[in-house]
Structure 1
Amino acid sequence: MDSAADVEVDLLSRAVEALQGLLGSEWDISSQTYGGDSDYGIDAMAQVASADGGVVRLFFQVKQRLTPKEVASILAPRAELVRRVNDSARFMVVAPWISPATQQELRKSDIGYLDLTGNVSLRVSRPAIVVHTQGEQRAPAGYRQPVGKPLLTGLKAARLVRLLADVRPPYRATDLAHHAGLSLAYVSRLLDSLEDQLLVRRDGKIISWVEWERLLRARARQTDLFRTTEPAGMIAPNGVEEVLEKLREYNREGGYDYRREVLVTGSYAARSFARISVGGQLMLYVQQHPLNVDRVANELGLIPVTEGADVLLLRAKDRSVFERPMEISGIGQVGLSQLAMDCLAGPGRMPAEGEAVLKFMSAHEPSWRKHDLSQPDETALF
């Protein structure tokens, strides 16, 4: 088995080779690997020379994995120190893979980066170098989360993410665990992971800030709407508008509570806040049980099909989907945070619709975000 030092040297060698390929033959790169970390935390130095004689030194820091929190608290001060000592040098991180959130924090701190999937960013004013390429935005196979750090996938994570987005801090992990129906141990571990990603901020035991917009994007990146909901394809013989009218009628009659048990999501719901597209499939969340799918299809006059569906019945596998819903024009829709995640995790033009929903949410935050956890879970009217 290769030692950690051998792995580091191999990673540096591959990084320098990749950078040389991006810059081209008119640039010359010579690298020197240090025997260990220097006072500035530098693992290697590369001298990059242009054909006209311009030279810049790149100071490399090798990381097997890196979080946004580590960038902000450790690497940013280190890079600033390098710039002060040597204004002709640039600080650069090399890693097997760098997440989008970490890339953003590195750019914010004016730190270059290169990973082996093709995510590269380097800006040098003299000699002029501007390189920016995009590689894998999701963790590649074999890149594992550290043991004990839960991911944002799964039903429990969805429940906590929605609560964090929908309710303003401050609150404690114990409060979140109680309201979400989750164990305190799980909530604490996930909050640790979110803090590493700078998605939440804590003052002692109090969660004082939530980056809800980035949090919803992060959750969506790790999920796939159709894979998690196993949609049942349907045809509406008399058109989608008749289905919507039936939903209004059931809500007015007050029989089976469609406001809480059958909710619109996807493109049709997104158009209530950002009309950037027309057409598309009507997506309705229903309870997961197969008999419930059949019952709702029958009541709404839908016919099952294997292709060409204009209505999709999505199986809601957790109660959080139905929490904090909305009513618009007499029809129940999922809450805004659920709608944004569904669209961002959907196919085709849905991610663009999700971004439009996020923009609406940012501009109207007081109208949908609860002030504290004690507020009742009522249907919001828009």
Structure 2
Amino acid sequence: MSTAESTPTNLAEQAVHTLRALLGDSWSVTPLTPAPDKEHEGDSAFDGRVTIAPPDNSPYTELLITARQSVTPREVETQLGAIRNILAHTHASPTMLVVSPWISARAQQELRDRRIGYIDLTGNVFLSVTYPAIHLHLQGASRSPRANRGTATGTKRVTLAGEKAGRIVRFLADFTPPYKATDIANATEVDLGWVSRLLGALDDQRLIERANRTITDVDWAGLLHARAMTTRLLTDNNYVGMIAPAGTQSVLRKLATFPHPPYGKPQVIVTGPYAARAVAPLATGGQLMLYVDNSAGSVDFMADYLGLLPADHGAEVLLLRARDAVIFERHRKVDDIPHVALSQLVMDSLSGPGRMPAEAEAVLDRMRATEEFWRQPWLAKLESAPRR
């Protein structure tokens, strides 16, 4: 079903077809048509009613369907959660079923926490009923099929894709609140209007909490996951595969003696498996991934300095051209070698190939246990800044 066809009626019908296919022919899934005197009561909370009866003629259950073009965690917490609470106190206590073209993993979790069923058109399904006993939980698409890598066509909707969003995510993850949109805009050099729209979207997703215009809390781990869902490490950054004739340890030794500036951004910085292993050792091996700045000739210069040779296959080292300077910001030093900030490392690893996402989760566990050491208080940063 296309987006244009995703009207409330069509979405409700699709939910019925999905339930019939999942439960099988022996179950009865019957849509109920509203009585004539009920059609104009103005109650738009539900777009359909369905009864489900098992093959043995034991008591049936009733589902109340609400169809939505999108479902945000904030809507689940407020609107849908309130409706669910009201239904829970009714005599019949029917089950709510939300149907949408696509429902994010975060919204799915919020729905499950409230025992609200859901079906989306990509195959994400959850329905749990006590009598008759029904429990369905299927995974569909983890990314929206309608996702646009940037601004949505014809609207001013913003997403977590793109360089501007990357800067804002890094700020929110690296600095503890409180701060305002103006602080973020000034620090990231992103237009204030764009920052405000993105913060509104993050609020809907419950990735940030706000009091009036001040951000008071950030779900930085959820935010890094959400950002990584919009990126692909080896697609978004042009890279060149290299082999190290003298071995990767030789490359690391040369990196330790490379004349990095004492202040400011380094010209080359480690990410990927080697950086993850320095934080939370999970496995051995993996390619040595190095960001270089995006200036002309930087890849050739760094390859010559490190003694690397181009390789079409079996690359031991990847030189990635950094798509944005924020990649080098707030870097760490490990054995005199610059490593990307932990927040950047997690996003790179979550969006990388092979076992890199698992390495990212190990880094996240370590970050949760040491948050007070790597997140910087924003107010303290401002107070310590030199005055002009």
Q: Please give the range of the TM-score, normalised by the shorter of the 2 chains.
A: over 0.9
Q: Which residue among 151, 163, 173 is the counterpart of 2:171?
A: 163
Q: Is the 8 A contact 1:177 1:184 kept in 2?
A: yes
Tell me the SS of whatever aligns to 2:9: helix
Residue-by-residue CA offset, 1:341-382 (whole Å, 9 max, x unaligned): 000011111111111111111111001000115528x9xxxx
> In structure 1, what is the equivalent of residue 52 of structure 2?
48
1:188 pairs, out of 196, 199, 214, with 196
Once the two structures are superposed, residues 189-209 of structure 1 have per-residue CA deviations (whole angstroms, 9 ceiling, x without a partner) of 110111111111111110111
What does residue 161 of structure 2 align with? 153
> Matched residue of 1:271: which SS?
helix
Deviation of the 1:108 alpha carbon: 1.8
The CA deviation string for residues 204-231 of structure 1, in whole angstroms up to 9 with x for no partner, is 1101111100000000001111111111
Name 1:10's counterpart in structure 2.
Answer: 10
CA distance in 2, matches of 1:33, 1:339: 53
Counting only pairs closer than 5 Å after superposition, residues 123-138 of structure 1 correspond to structure 2 as 123-138=128-143
Q: Is the 8 A contact 2:170 2:344 kept in 1?
A: yes
Question: Which secondary structure does the structure 2 equivalent of 1:85 belong to?
Answer: coil
1:65 aligns with 2:73: no
Matched residues, percent identical? 44
- Structure 2 residue matching 1:182: 3-state secondary structure: coil
Alignment TM-score, normalising by the size of structure 1:
0.92
Query: How is 1:194-213 mapped onto 2 (pairs within 5 angstroms)?
Result: 194-213=202-221
The one-letter code sitting in structure 1 at the alignment partner of 2:334 is I
8 Å contact kept, 1:149–1:192:
no
2:265, 2:329 within 8 Å by CA — same for their partners in 1? no
**Partners in 1 of 2:182 and 2:263 — Cα distance?**
32
Task: Provide closer, same or farther for how the CA distance between residues 125 and 332 of structure 1 changes in structure 2, counting only shifts above 3 A.
Answer: same
The residue type paired with residue 9 of structure 1 is: T
Give CA-to-partner distance per residue, 1:158-215, whole Å, 9 cap, x none.
0000000000000011011111111111111110111111111111110111110000
CA distance, structure 2, for counterparts of residue 145 and residue 216 of structure 1: 21
2:108 corresponds to which residue? 103
Moved more, 22-31 or 128-137: 22-31
**Aligned partner letter, 2:220:** W
**Measured at CA, do residues 145 and 355 of structure 1 come closer, stay the same or move farther in structure 2, by a change above 3 Å?**
farther
Structure 1 residue 142, shift from structure 2 partner? 7.3
Residue of structure 2 in register with 1:139 after alignment: 144
What 5-or-longer segments of structure 2 have no aligned partner?
Answer: none
1:37, 1:346 → 2: CA distance?
52
Secondary structure at 1:79 match in 2: helix
Q: Do the aligned residues in 2 keep the contact of 1:40 with 1:78 (CA within 8 Å)?
A: no
TM-score normalised by the chain length of structure 2: 0.91
Aligned to 1:351: 357
CA-atom RMSD in angstroms: 2.3
Report the 3-state secondary structure (helix = DSSP H, G, I; strand = E; otherwise coil) of the residue aligned with 2:258.
helix
Structure 1, unaligned runs of 5 or more: none
Tell me which residue corresponds to 1:306: 312
Aligned to 2:366: 360
3-state secondary structure, aligned to 2:376: coil
Farther-moved stretch of structure 1 (37-46 vs 277-286): 37-46
CA shift, 1:40, in A, is 7.5
Aligned length: 373
Q: Does 1:271 align with 2:277?
A: yes
Whether the aligned pair in 1 keeps the contact of 2:87 and 2:93 (CA below 8 Å) is: no
Superposition deviation, residue 41 in structure 1:
1.1
Structure 1 CA distance for aligned equivalents of residues 199 and 19 of structure 2: 36
